[in-house]
Structure 1
Amino acid sequence: MPDMRPLQPGDPEQIGSYRLVGVLGSGGQGVVYRGVGDREVAIKVLHGHFSHDDDIAKGFLREVEAARRVAAFCTAAVLDVGMVDDRPYIVSEYVPGDTLQAVVRASGPREGGALDRLAISTLTALTAIHQAGIVHRDFKPGNVLMGPDGPIVIDFGIAKALDATTGTSVPVGTPTYMSPEQFEGERVGPASDVFSWAGTMVFAATGRTPFAGDTVAAIVNHVLSGVPDLSGVPPHLLGAIEACLSRDPAARPGAAELLQQLIRQVNPTGRPLAPPLAQAGHGSVADADTAPGRRGSIGRRALIGGGAAAAAVGVSAFALLRPGSGLLDPDGRRTGRPVGDTSSGSLAQSPGTASPNPAASAEPFGTQTGDPVPLPATDGAPTAMAAEGGTVVGTAKGAVFAWDLGPEVTRLGDGGGSAEWVCAGSLGGTPAVASGHHDGRMRLWRPAGGSLASRKVSDPVIAVTVTAGAAVAVSQKYDDMRDLHSVVRLWNISTGKQIGPAISDHFQGVRGLAFGRLGEDDVLVTGDGGERVRVWRLSDGKPLRSFRTGEVGGIELLACGEIDGRPVLVSTHLDATLRVYDLATGKRRKKWEFSDQAPDDRGATALVAGRIGDVPVAVVAHAPWNGDVIVRVWNLGDGDVIGVLGPGPGGAIRRLALAERDGRPMIAGAGEDRKLRIWSLGPA
């Protein structure tokens, strides 16, 4: 039973209808009081610095309200939320008992049936949390209470709410149990909780964390590039935990899926009944695709169910919506569905928005063109895609492909570790494809196949580009002397030499990255966890511009474009907004909300900017936790959504690009099913 200290001067005596009787604990977020009224409750009151702005406080309350949707089995129910003395508070069910962290420290690791019951109970809680549309974001031993009725998960959704109060995209959590995507500024979804659950189970089974380090930065480095220590984990749980600790979120099993696996594997005495995970159609856990330190596809989930009819060859995967009318099929017949209905996998044109002359094209706006093109199953999931100068695709196992948007792909070769970025261009008059890899490899390829150059650096390569002057790679690592500030370097791929000095001031690492042009210079644009955007000249690594976004909502993805002849930066943010900034001045020009998204459907997986004829556009792909495909095509001139690709076959679109075929603009997308698809965007 946790100790409770008496109230001290300055502590409130009453919050809402609850009389406070003592302090259960305090920490970096706030103070937890025990309250009594019609029932016993725990009330967390946040520190004052979390409520310095009315809008931020409202955002916090809104996020916590979402947590009240969670079913109350295996979780401490959220009962109320409000403000006291300008500080937000959360009222939840009181659960007597110590945390899993304290129990293991005092009594040692869990064993046998106790460990199995803990694993199954906590997965049941995560399943309920995810089914309510919530992502925990801070699952750890300190947030599992060992109550008299069994393990209870607490503080679900609180980390998301705290993110909204900081004014930055700094993730709120415990580094040892945080997922790679939380450090890398990528979308945080239910797969992040599965990663954290696995780390928590390692601690419960061994008394150690899977990712050790003497400093926060050392822990971050271990999570991002090290191998987890799983010694001492029982054999019947080892395969599941290995799969959950994959660096690729898409390669981790879902909580509900994993729960079913564990129930089938463990009988009431705690003895394993079946080999781990491999029996469920996920392949062998010994497959190299799921080995620690590798991205992969084992445990990948089929995220889309439905919309199969829209995938038929020659049938549009989209449908056009005329102002004031129902949806039309490809032959112009009305389907009778109401305005805005995209449930069948269609691209619906927004009311009052004209498509870019769809009638002038043999392939109407939104038509899926040709059959999906499969990538070889042995090369892993698609991880990178680009179309400027030629469409190229990289995969989780490092393979690089050229694609002419036809029925086949050309394999250029194996580049090394997971391909983080690919592009095509011309180098000294010679066509070239560049690829950057997680193991530090940077490669130049001939578009027809064969290597032009191969270099290796010690840090993971996170981006590459081919400009008129040089092929440039960007690498990043975390420096343990600078806490959570990463070190970014530019490299000439042809020579392997560093361009300019190392850049060591990206707080929480690079959050969003894009290549563009400012005046006469080819530039790199980066965002970081402090909401700062920086512009660097590629030729010498010199900083040219720096500005802050100035708003709550962490930077997710960046893309460079142009509006009315001026270079702009297009960005997506964790507050579910799309924004446009003047690249030269840093002044925000536009801001729009993804208003139909639930709080934890937020998060973009891909962003590109370009033009459809004379219309500047941004194309944004989302991968909500329930797997529905969402791709929006925005008119950057007036903010109208030209179209939305709704649920359809193939799984969530992870990578996309704007391409051209026969002079017509296209969307090229790579889905969860390892297939490449293209859709028409109307005439050029």
Structure 2
Amino acid sequence: MQADGRSGINRAGEIAFALVGDQAGGYWGGSVAELPQGVTALEESDPSVLGPYHVLGRLGEGGMGSVYLGRRDGTGPFVAIKVIRADLARVPEFRERFLREANAAQRVAHAATAPVVDVDTAGSRPYLVTEYIEGPTLDARIRDRGPLSAAELEWLATAVATALRAIHAAGLVHRDLKPSNILLSPFGARVIDFGISRALDSTTMLTEGTIGTPAFMAPEQALSQPVSETADIHAWGAVLAYAAAGRPPFSGESLPGVMLSVAYDPPVLDGLPAGLRPLVARAMAKDPAERPTAAELFDLLHGPRPSAPPDEPADAAPPAASGSPDRSGVRASTPPPAYTGKVASRDATVRFETPAGGLDEVTSYAGQPTHQTVVQRQPRRARTTIALVAALVVAGTVTVGVLTNVLSGGGSGSSVAPSASPSVAPTFALPTGAGRALAGPTDKVESVALSPDGHTLAAGSVDQRVYLWDVTRPASPVSLGQPLTGPGSWVSSVAFSPDSHTLAAGSDDRRVYLWDVTRPASPTPLGQPLTEPGDWVRSVAFSPDGHTLAAGSGDGKVYLWSVTGTGATALGQPLQGPGSSVRSMAFSPDGHTLAIGSYNHKIGLWDVTQPASPTPLGQPLTGPTDFVLSVAFSPNSHTLAASSSDGKVYLWDVTRPSGPTPLGQPLAGPGGSVRSVAFSPDGRALAAAGDNGTVSVWDVARPSSPTAVGQPLTGPGAAVTALAFSPRSGTLAAASEDRSVYLW
């Protein structure tokens, strides 16, 4: 749980615990060897015991009070304890509402949230207890590493929508959803601090200001109007916009300026992929009635959504006509009255057009007026309201609570038409020439993966270890400490979770291993290895939302686990692959389809929209005349590629997964068996690895007619066994039997 103030649970951005005893015991056993990073020792005035909880350290300070790390009876799992400020605790209305809201929060389903496990308002120190969630906040992650990739944004969007659906189903409104209230645990994003903000939202609390963080408020919050679940939906969109661009969708040079921007400006949605942008735009409609519910948002995220046409930038899709649904099923927001420019909070000239056609002008701050101008028809009271706001800004005395009350007085339904400039989807340079070798493994390298955030490279070797490199700067990669150990045989496959916090490895010892790599330089094992597979594990993969882990086994089956903050749980019965052994496997980026490649030359397709009850999609695909060694989906999920020991690469159109169709003739590989295939992150290139130590690349912008690009890539001195592109930089990594990994 994260404190809702400036310091937060983890001032350093990430939390790493040093535990004595069995590492696999996680936070359920062992003793604390030292205070975690970002957790400080208790101060003299801090409690050492709160009811049955032993207080171990201070996690942070927020607007409502202090947050501590604790354990029930000193032996249970770690919990986060939020102790309410003394001045708030003395207000009877606050205590009553706090207890009522906290009790309601305990009814919230645990999906993608930090469950509320206890509350006590009887004593002099009211407190709320939640499950302790390991990991940095989204805010810290963006500050430390920059914006999220398209795959990470999809994962985040789904996780937060899942949490909001559960929160709203319990009759609660979060009211303060923001990046610092989203924790990135090793098993997915978790929303925290729900069900407590409303306790402050009363007339007795007016001096505390309106509830919400200005840049992530809904317009109705900034205008001090009634707030409902739709304010959380607006915040969901603002969080996604922030995660995509690394900056909030609204800005200003002061607090009043930000709130004016929230109330009247269109959000800046640069950086959002085509599949998310229409949903975010609808979620951030100025009119709350035009936003989807959390349940509708969840369904839209799991349904078909647009992808950019080959000749159109991903973010350049024009908005749908007013009130008409676009290709994603999202109804466009009705354009409000248009204006030019933005309301600025400093050195801005604000002009309002009067009904008679004249202009009223207010210049904020003494000094040089600027050319930032607003032209908008408003009744006399609205003009007076903005003039008062400008005067308050000049005086430097405006507060959030006062500003919202002032702004609400001028409310006449006015807003602004979205006009954010589209940004161009990234197009990556194709790899060429000889790759740069990374040494370290002492035997053949069988698998390779690049984290979705583009910072970490993992490679699994026959020497039973996993090697990690920092590839934030691909031209100068750095080895990250000692290799990971644990597997008792070959590490045949590795995969990162969509948030880049968890690494999975499949081994020929019939097990799947998990590590927390939130801090890649000091990874830690996550629980015990998964032992369900009945034979070697040659393929592992996370679903795009990060909630499901799949492993393909030599016993001919695919095993699925539900991945949560407390571990991995088997999902029903394993899927039967199309043959006796599963060699390769991949989720489609839209999360609906799982492709399974087998040694019997066939590829099975499964609908995994509901991972707990997957269903086969027709008959297995045929075409390859030997083992299917690798399968991969294009970024838009429309094309499936498969490589075979017969030396060829096969393509299918899987826009309709229940009725796939072959695309042209098979492509001749670079030489010998084609061990691996991978699409570039922009979907325009397909790479294939050969037994002869080279990699062929095709332009597949038109998948029905791919064309070879240049000469095969060189560098490896033996067979290339695996390929992976970095979603962030477009860097291509290749594993080789010459005991090295290569980068282009």
Please tell me the TM-score bracket, short chain as reference.
0.3 to 0.5
| Bigger relative contact order (CA 8 A; separation at least 6) | 1
- Taking structure 2 as the reference length, the TM-score comes to 0.41
More strand by share: 1
Larger radius of gyration: 2
